[in-house]
Structures are given as structure tokens and as C-alpha cells.
């Protein structure tokens, strides 16, 4: 399976970004998470769009090469034809490059792992307009620093992603949502790798996926009723807590009277209340400054956006979120 777009699409994207004298630049995707980390200085930054298209699906190797402007839903549809999928949240209109830049995992993170584990190789455009490759199509041929993981969640402030190689996974034969009154923390320990366990302080939702017999056995163990799907997620705020801190949410004044849905075993909390700000450790700030100075000393990539802004607030504000 190959993309209809030109093989020189990545080079053309680099030419559009241009050299440093071309000025500040920002890569635009589906704008589904546009406010994360602060808004780009729109008056100064020129907008560019990453190339789109699925270059190659390597079903036997369980990898896919895809350009960053491709929507996740388009990629999911192509992979479904070979019985595979990819662990990226399929928010409406979200692009592969945008999802990786933000670094937020979907509701299946408990069972499918974080977004950063999906990325094997990245071809990016650096701040000086060059095409740079990080990682490799298989884990075994990668050595040195894992720059791919550094790029995930960097909000496009270190480089602009043009094309990636992603790890795929088998498409589950069966998926079942269950819900009811149950201790979510006991369920996480009792069940074998549930894809998701959600909790709003009163009701627990569980997503099971895999072979039909295995799912049926786990559903009997969970002893919950069938559900149509996950609950509506409150917003627009997304907290990040230690998983061990979640039980206190039911009685904590941290959420006040606001709604919340917590991803048990993960630590992400979706809520309509902003988090309490807390300072970022000075060592983290200094490390961030040094990395930025190496990758983008002139500050031309996504000016105004700061990955540490989400950390300082304890969470990221998001828009147009939907279930994974």
C-alpha cells in the first residue's frame, strides 16, 4: 500500500519551512489540541502543513510509514484492512504529527501503552530547515539517544515532524465496555490487562479487548453490566496525577464540586476544574532550556508554545477531545 503523493513530499515540506532567515514558523494539523502549552504567536509565525499520505504498510513487520499530515482516522481505516491498528487517539480531524507533538495518550493507555512507545522512526525538519532522521524502522537497529521519545510531547518546539514509522498492533477481535458499582482499583489488580478502567467517584467503566473467549472470561470476573461505551469526559482540563493519588479524589477538595473521570492505573484525570499550579523543578527548567538551545537556538519553531506550561499547571487544557 503506497501513498499517491510525491516521494519528494518531505523535501518539499523542508523547503516550505525554509532556513532561519525565513522567520518563525508553526506546523498546523487538525487543531484539535491547539491550545495545549499555550497559543502560537500568530502575528509572527508563518503556518505550514506537513505532507499527508500513507507511504507503506508493512503488515508482516507490524509497522507503518506515514506522513505527519495524515489523520489518525484515515490511518486506522487503512490498517483495519490488514487487521491491525495503532495506539494513537483518534480525535476527530487529529493528525498523526499533531497527536505525537502533543503526546497525550487515548483512553486505552492502560492496556495499549503510551503514545511515545508507538514512534519508531521520525523524519523531521530542523530549525535550520534540514531534514533529519531519528530512530529506525525496527528497535534492533537503533543506537544512541532515543530522540524519538524526546520529540513526542515537545509541541513542535524542537523540530517539525514530516514522516514517521509507527509500531502497529493487532486489531482486537472483540471489544466490550462494562460499567457498574465496583472498586476500580481492585479491578485493575484482578483483571488481566484491561484496555481501560475509568472511574468518576461512583461508577466504574472497564474496556476489555482481545480474543472472544478471553474477553468473556474477564467480563465474568469483572461482574459488571454491559455498557454502550465510555462516559462523556468532562473538560476542558486534563490533570496528571500519580495513580496512587486517585483514590483520594472521591473525598478530596481538589476537585471541589466539579465532575471528573479518572483513568485508573494511569493517573490522568479529566475534569471541568483547573488544577492547582505548582512550580517546575529548577533542574527540569534548566534541562529544558539547554535542549531548546541545541535544537532551536533562535526560537523560530512554534514561538509562544511551551511544553513546561502544562507541567507547571499540573495538567493540560484541551479542546474537542473525544474517546480514543
Work out the number of other CB atoms within 10 angstroms of the CB of residue 250.
13
> Given the C-alpha cell 495518550, which residue does it identify?
105
Ramachandran assignment for 223, one of left (phi > 0), alpha (psi -120 to 50 degrees), beta (any other): left
d(CA 322, CA 44): 31
State the number of CA atoms in the 13 A half-sphere of 16 facing the CB.
17
Q: pLDDT tens-digit profile of 138-166? A: 755 556 678 898 999 999 999 999 999 99
Q: Which pLDDT belongs to residue 32?
A: 84
Question: Taking a C-beta distance cutoff of 8 angstroms, is the pair 99, 72 a contact?
Answer: yes
**Apex CA 237: angle with CA 234 and CA 241, to 5°?**
105
- Beta strands (DSSP E) in 277-323 are 315-317
Q: pLDDT tens-digit profile of 254-280? A: 566 578 999 999 999 999 888 777 788
Q: What is the pTM of this model?
A: 0.88
Phi, then psi, of 186 in degrees rounded to 5 = -70, -35
d(CA 12, CA 17): 9
d(CA 70, CA 161): 12
Question: Taking a C-beta distance cutoff of 8 angstroms, is the pair 180, 224 a contact?
Answer: yes
Give the residue among 118, 125, 123 at the shortest CA–CA distance from 133: 123
Q: Is the peptide bond before 236 cis (omega within 30 degrees of 0)?
A: yes
Phi, then psi, of 89 in degrees rounded to 5 = -65, 130
Helix (H) or strand (E) holding 284: helix 282-295
Q: Which pLDDT belongs to residue 257?
A: 54
pLDDT tens, residue order, the chain (324 aa)? 334 445 589 999 999 999 999 999 999 998 888 888 888 886 778 999 999 999 999 999 999 999 999 999 999 999 999 999 999 998 889 999 999 999 999 999 999 999 999 999 999 999 999 999 998 877 555 566 788 989 999 999 999 999 999 999 999 999 999 999 999 999 999 999 999 999 999 999 999 999 999 999 999 999 999 999 999 999 888 898 999 999 998 876 556 657 899 999 999 999 988 877 778 899 999 999 999 999 999 999 999 999 887 654 433 333 333 333
Q: Which pLDDT belongs to residue 26?
A: 94
Question: Taking a C-beta distance cutoff of 8 angstroms, is the pair 88, 118 a contact?
Answer: yes
Give the residue among 178, 186, 318, 179 at the shortest CA–CA distance from 240: 318
Work out the number of other CB atoms within 10 angstroms of the CB of residue 82.
17
Cell reading at 244: 496512587
Cell reading at 275: 488544577
- From residue 77, give the alpha-carbon distance in Å to each of 14, 70, 156: 28, 12, 26
- From residue 150, give the alpha-carbon distance in Å to each of 4, 92, 158, 193: 30, 25, 9, 27
d(CA 310, CA 166): 25
DSSP 8-state symbol, 279: P
Q: Which pLDDT belongs to residue 314?
A: 38
- From residue 121, give the alpha-carbon distance in Å to each of 73, 74, 117, 139, 250: 20, 20, 11, 9, 41
Q: Which pLDDT belongs to residue 124?
A: 97
Amino acid at each position: 500500500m503506497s501513498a499517491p503523493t510525491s516521494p519528494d513530499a518531505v523535501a518539499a515540506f523542508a523547503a516550505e519551512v525554509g532556513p532561519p532567515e525565513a522567520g518563525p514558523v508553526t506546523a498546523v494539523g487538525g487543531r484539535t489540541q491547539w491550545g495545549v502549552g499555550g497559543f502560537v504567536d500568530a502575528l509572527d509565525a508563518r503556518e505550514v502543513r506537513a505532507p499527508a499520505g500513507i507511504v507503506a504498510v508493512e503488515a508482516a513487520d507490524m509497522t507503518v510509514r506515514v506522513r505527519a499530515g495524515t489523520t489518525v482516522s484515515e490511518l486506522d481505516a487503512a490498517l483495519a484492512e490488514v487487521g491491525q491498528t495503532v495506539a494513537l487517539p483518534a480525535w476527530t480531524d487529529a493528525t498523526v504529527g499533531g497527536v505525537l507533538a502533543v503526546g497525550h495518550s487515548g483512553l486505552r493507555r492502560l492496556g495499549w501503552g503510551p503514545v511515545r512507545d508507538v514512534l519508531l522512526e521520525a523524519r523531521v525538519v530542523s530549525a535550520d530547515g534540514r531534514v533529519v532522521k531519528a530512530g529506525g524502522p525496527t528497535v534492533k537497529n537503533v543506537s544512541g539517544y532515543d530522540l524519538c521519545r524526546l520529540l513526542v510531547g515537545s509541541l513542535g518546539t524542537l523540530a517539525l515532524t514530516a514522516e514517521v514509522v509507527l509500531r502497529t498492533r493487532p486489531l482486537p477481535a472483540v471489544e466490550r465496555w462494562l460499567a457498574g458499582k465496583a472498586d476500580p482499583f481492585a479491578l485493575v489488580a484482578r483483571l488481566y490487562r484491561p484496555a481501560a478502567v475509568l472511574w468518576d467517584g461512583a461508577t466504574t467503566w472497564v474496556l476489555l479487548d482481545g480474543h472472544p473467549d478471553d474477553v468473556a472470561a474477564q467480563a465474568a470476573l469483572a461482574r459488571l453490566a454491559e455498557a454502550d461505551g465510555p462516559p462523556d469526559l468532562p473538560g476542558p482540563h486534563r490533570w496528571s496525577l500519580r495513580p496512587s493519588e486517585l483514590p483520594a479524589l472521591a473525598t478530596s477538595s481538589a476537585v471541589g464540586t466539579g465532575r471528573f473521570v479518572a483513568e485508573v492505573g494511569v493517573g490522568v484525570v479529566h475534569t471541568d476544574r483547573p488544577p492547582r499550579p505548582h512550580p517546575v523543578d529548577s533542574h527540569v527548567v534548566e534541562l529544558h532550556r539547554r535542549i531548546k538551545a541545541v535544537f532551536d537556538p533562535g526560537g523560530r519553531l512554534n514561538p509562544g508554545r511551551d511544553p513546561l506550561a502544562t507541567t507547571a499547571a499540573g495538567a493540560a487544557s484541551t479542546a474537542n477531545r473525544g474517546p480514543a
